């Protein structure tokens, strides 16, 4: 069941990311490149999505034995559509990794050096949960930014996902 729990969390993560990305893209550059202020983790919607991509990417590398020193971000993508293309590729890779995990893989300790040079060791399963939780934090910021720009986007809660999409 631990494997199912993680897989379904990632099904949710991909769905919520795509739902918000789709809404944001439809609003065009005027909204996604707009500086919305320094009180956000990243001042633009594009920058926020690029950070989500960057975090998902750096963690996937750590899970597969690397310790990348650099996290991809806003400046690495000329446009939302370029980010989408890279993200599709990453999502495919992440999905293959997550769906290939066994219960014993989940308990495996992952040793990594973060981008401040701090060494840490945490079991894979909590790190997998961390990445989705991290995504939810920034998706919340994106939801508020979209609310300011064009009105409240639809709900991306796990309960909504289960009831309206997976229907189980």
- Report yes or no: 47 and 73 within 8 Å, Cβ to Cβ: yes
Under the binding rule (CB under 8 A), the answer on residue 61 touching other proteins is no
Q: Is 90 in the site for other proteins (CB under 8 A)?
A: no
- Least Å distance, CB 133 to other proteins, is 4
**Measured from the CB of residue 117, what is the shortest distance to other proteins in angstroms?**
14
Rounded CA-CA distance 76/116 in Å is: 20
| Phi and psi, residue 76, nearest 5° | -80, -5
Separation between Cα atoms, residue 155 and residue 152, nearest integer Å: 9
Check residue 110 and give left, alpha or beta (phi > 0: left; psi -120 to 50: alpha): beta
Residue 80 binds other proteins (CB under 8 A):
no
- Asked if residue 19 binds other proteins (CB under 8 A), the reply is no
Q: Would you tell me which residues interact with other proteins (CB under 8 A)?
A: 1-2, 5-6, 8-9, 12, 39-40, 103, 106-107, 120, 122, 125-127, 129-130, 132-134, 136-141, 143-144, 147-148, 156-159, 162-163, 168
């Amino acid at each position: 069941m631990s494997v199912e729990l993680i897989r379904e969390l990632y099904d949710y993560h991909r769905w919520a990311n795509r739902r918000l990305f789709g809404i944001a893209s439809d609003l065009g550059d005027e909204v996604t490149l707009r500086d919305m202020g320094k009180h956000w983790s990243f001042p633009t919607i594009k920058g926020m999505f690029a950070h989500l991509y960057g975090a998902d990417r750096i963690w996937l590398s750590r899970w597969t034995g690397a310790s990348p020193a650099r996290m991809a971000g806003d400046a690495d993508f000329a446009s939302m559509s370029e980010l989408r293309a890279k993200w599709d590729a990453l999502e495919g890779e992440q999905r293959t990794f997550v769906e290939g995990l066994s219960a014993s893989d989940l308990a495996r300790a992952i040793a990594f050096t973060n981008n401040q040079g701090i060494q840490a060791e945490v079991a894979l399963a909590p790190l997998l949960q961390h990445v989705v939780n991290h995504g939810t934090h920034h998706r919340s910021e994106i939801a508020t930014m979209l609310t300011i720009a064009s009105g409240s986007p639809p709900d991306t809660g796990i309960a909504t996902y289960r009831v309206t999409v997976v229907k189980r």
